[in-house]
Every structure is written in C-alpha cells, then in structure tokens.
Structure 1
Amino acid sequence: MRALVMLYGVVCYFAFFVVFVYFMGFVGDVFVPVSISSEVEVYSQNALMINIGLMLMWGVQHSVMARGWFKDMIASVVPHHVERSTYCLASAIALGALMYYWQPMEGIIWQVENAMMANVLWGFFGLGWALIFLSTFLTDHFDLFGLRQPWLHFVKKTYTPVVFTEVLFYRWIRHPMMLGLFIAFWSLPTMTVGHLVFSIGMSIYVLAGIHFEERGLARELGQTYVDYQKRTSKVIPKVY
C-alpha cells in the first residue's frame, strides 16, 4: 500500500509538471499546437464569457482546495500524505481544461516590430518562468508539489512542516513566484485581445490568491510571519 501511495505521488507530480510546461508554451504562443491565440476559422461570439468562466473555474479549484477548512472536510477520504498530491493532480486537470477549452479572440492590442525590443520582452518572458521554478526550490519544491509527503509515508517517517526561511528573493519579497507569473503574463511582443483578457483575469486571481495566502500564513506562523510582513514587500521590492 505504501508503494502505491508513493506511485500515486509520482504520477501526480509528473502530471502537473507536464501540464505546467505546456502552459508556458500556451501563454507564449510558442512550441505547442494549441495556445491562447491559436488561429481559428471562426471566432466564437461567446469567447469572452467562456474564457472568463474558465479562469473562474481554475481560480475556485486552486483556491478552495488550498483552504484549511476544505482539507479538514476531505481528510477522511484524502489522508494527509496524499492531500498535496491530489491537489496538484486536480490543479493539472483544471489547468488542462482551461487550455483545452480556451477560445481564441480576434484582435491585436500591440505588436512589437523592433527585433531588439521583441527579444528583450522574450527575455523577460523566460525570466518570469525561471523565477517561478527557482523560487520553488528556495522553499521546498517536493513538498510544494506533493512528493515529500508520500515519500515520508513510504519510509515510515512522520511528516514535519517545511521550516520557514528567508532565502535569496524571500529576503525582499514574500511572493517571488507570483512576481514571476506577472512578468511572464505581461512580457509578450504580441498582445492579442485573448492574451489581454487572460493576463488581466489571471493577474486578478494572483492578487486575490496572495491576499488569502497571507492570511493563512499569518494564522499558521503567527508573529514570525507578521514581523516578516513588516520588513518585506509582497511582490515588488519597496513598491508593493
């Protein structure tokens, strides 16, 4: 049984990893067959409402399943050692559905013609994703994506929460992964209407997610996190 739990954790981890890597290409309209601005013969008249609904679906899944009360509610069905793995699997399914059902939208907001400026934006686009991945390892990548919990269960060790530390980016901002998302969503040489809707919607979700995560961390870590909030910024050093 422990081996099956470990296998489940590995499958969930790689499921999310594959979907997230595809998501990078989806956002940038590169390297994948279907992306935000894929060409279609006929644009859906309901594209805006469908896309807003898809982002709401993603936001509800990603936020509700992360709340403590929801974890307590499903604890009898989803034990702690697979809770995070299940969350990652559900997130992969929700994100995959968002990409699969996304409706391209007609129109271009801006298109950078200067090759140097376009390359600069592509550089920032890559930097955003790099910041996200690096930040996951500054805390505990394998705990975050649900591998550490089933592993500890597999080797019959008691789970202990990740120790709160201030490493590298976390010395100045509390949410470097969210900063990476903002950079990636907005650093595009071509901003289509569909991209704009996506970037606005997902940026609103990220801001809302930061708000709820901060409340949860303050409850969990107490004065340690409150003091950390006082000496650091949320996303942009000295600004926000």
Structure 2
Amino acid sequence: MRSVYLLYGVIAYGIFFTTFLYLIAFVGNFPFVPRTIDRGLVSDLFPALAINLVLISAFGLQHSVMARKSFKTLWPRVVPAPIERSTYVVFTSLVLIAMYCLWRPIPGDVWRVENVWLAGALWVVFAAGWGIVLLSTFLLNHFELFGLQQVYLHARNRTPADPQFHQPLFYKLVRHPIYSGFFIAFWATPHMTFGHLLFALGMSTYMLIAIGYEERDLVALFGPQYEAYRENVGMLAPRMGKGGGRAGT
C-alpha cells in the first residue's frame, strides 16, 4: 500500500497544482483558457447571482470544514492518515473545477482602467499577489501542505515531525501572507466587472471567516506562543514597529 499511497499523493498534487494554475488564468481572464470569471455560461442576473453564491459557499464550506481539527479527528476513520491531506487536496480541486465549469459571468463595469501604465501596474500587483501565495507555501512547507511529504514519509516508513513554531520571511510581517496574497490577486485588476466583484467579495468574506477558525486552532496548538505572536504581528498587513513569529503548520 505504501507505493499506492505515494502514487495517489503525486496524482493528487498534480491535479491540485494544475487547478491552482487555472485559478490564476480564471481570475485574470487569460485568453488561452475556455472559461474565466468574465467569460463562460450566460444566465440572467438573479440565476447568475444564486449560482455563483452557491459555488463560493461550497468552496468556503469544503475548505474550512475539512481543515478544522474537529473534522480531522474523524477523518482518519474513513481515510488513512498518510493520504488524509492528499484527499483534502483532491476535494478542494473538485470544488474549484466545479466553479470553473459552472460560474456565470455578470457583465458591467465597476471600474475599467484605460491608462496603459496604470493598467500595467495593476497587472504587476496581480502577479505579485500570486507570487506571495506560492512563495508563502514554500516558506512553511509546500509539500506538507499539499500532501506529498506525508505519502513520501509513509513510503520510507518514517514518522512526520511535530509542527514547530517559526517565522520565515513574510511571516515576520503578517500572520497570514497566503491570504494576503489572495486578497491582492483577487482585487488587483484593471477591469473589475460585477461578476469579478462578487467573486472578490465572496472569497474575501470566506477568508476572513477562515482566519478566525484557523487562529483558534493555532492557539490551541501553540498556546501562549501564538497568542504573543498574534498581539505583535498584523493579520493581513504589517503593523509598523511590531515583530513576531509564525506557527509553521
């Protein structure tokens, strides 16, 4: 079973990373993908609003519920521990794929930047947001976050180390740079349509809710060490003159 779990983990990672790359193209309205946030199935306004809100809610519920400690205590009864994270990654990918396939664009301009230089600057910020997201996963443990480390260690008959509290790079400045990167990427655009605005608002609301649950779990895991960190380091933006640490989970 060790080799089967390893293969499953590699396939799950491949699916997720492909889905993540598509998310960049989806939000950025890149022309080389078939459907984007502003290009796809057409519906009337109210059905489009309802469908899109259901898709955002489905992502938020799946992503948050399956990530909580209370769920993880039950999950190993169904899914073996070495592939628990990989299975979570697969479910996340499926929900995102459903969003790409079923999302309804809602036309109409909230803003449209015509100045070439300003538009170009916004694209740079957009790219920087995704760069922050990806780099932040490596600052923690990219392969552990997406399940590869677990199946590799299981294949080698090794036990994962306990999570350690540390503060690499961005995590000295903000407690949740992955979420910060997503905020930047979702909002930095030279052309904000009503559909894009709904997506950005919905996903931003989900992230703010998710942070509350995540921080509760981190306090339970690291206790006073994380509480001190939370007092000194900003949640999504730096606090001037403050310092702190980061829980590497």
For the superposition of Structure 1 and Structure 2, which TM-score range results when normalised by the shorter chain? Answer: over 0.9
* Matching residue's letter, 2:6: M
* Matching residue's letter, 2:192: M
User: Identity of aligned pairs, percent?
Assistant: 44
**Residue 84 of structure 1: CA displacement?**
0.5
**Residue 98 of structure 1: CA displacement?**
1.1
The aligned residue for residue 153 of structure 1 is 154
**Residue 172 of structure 1: CA displacement?**
1.4
Partner of 2:165, secondary structure, is coil
- Contact persistence 1:43–1:106 (CA under 8 A): no
Q: 2:205 & 2:85 partners in 1: Cα distance?
A: 24
Q: Does 2:16 match 1:19? A: no
Q: 2:128 & 2:211 partners in 1: Cα distance?
A: 21
Hey, which bits of structure 1, 4+ residues long, moved more than 6 A?
A: none
* Matching residue's letter, 1:80: A
The aligned residue for residue 180 of structure 2 is 179
The aligned residue for residue 245 of structure 2 is none
Partner of 2:106, secondary structure, is coil
**Residue 99 of structure 1: CA displacement?**
1.4
**Residue 167 of structure 1: CA displacement?**
1.0
TM-score, normalized by length of structure 2?
Answer: 0.93
- Contact persistence 1:43–1:104 (CA under 8 A): no
* Matching residue's letter, 2:133: I
Question: What root-mean-square deviation, in Å, do the aligned CA atoms of Structure 1 and Structure 2 show?
Answer: 1.3
The aligned residue for residue 8 of structure 1 is 8
TM-score, normalized by length of structure 1?
Answer: 0.96
Give the 3 Å change call, closer, same or farther, for CA 38–154 of structure 1 in structure 2.
same
Partner of 2:110, secondary structure, is strand
The aligned residue for residue 66 of structure 2 is 65
Q: 2:172 & 2:45 partners in 1: Cα distance?
A: 46
Partner of 1:75, secondary structure, is helix
Q: Give a deviation string over 1:55-104, Cα, whole Å, max 9, x none.
A: 00110000000111211112122122111110001000011111111011
* Matching residue's letter, 2:205: I
Q: 1:217 & 1:41 partners in 2: Cα distance?
A: 42
* Matching residue's letter, 1:79: P
Q: Give a deviation string over 1:132-169, Cα, whole Å, max 9, x none.
A: 00000111000001100111100000122332210111
Q: 1:120 & 1:223 partners in 2: Cα distance?
A: 41
**Residue 42 of structure 1: CA displacement?**
5.6
- Contact persistence 1:44–1:103 (CA under 8 A): no
* Matching residue's letter, 1:150: V
Q: Give a deviation string over 1:209-235, Cα, whole Å, max 9, x none.
A: 111101110001111111111111111
**Residue 41 of structure 1: CA displacement?**
6.2
Q: Give a deviation string over 1:191-219, Cα, whole Å, max 9, x none.
A: 00100000000000011111110111000
The aligned residue for residue 142 of structure 2 is 141
Q: What count of residue pairs does the alignment treat as equivalent? A: 239
Partner of 1:109, secondary structure, is strand
The aligned residue for residue 117 of structure 2 is 116
Q: Which runs of 5+ in 2 are unaligned?
A: 241-249
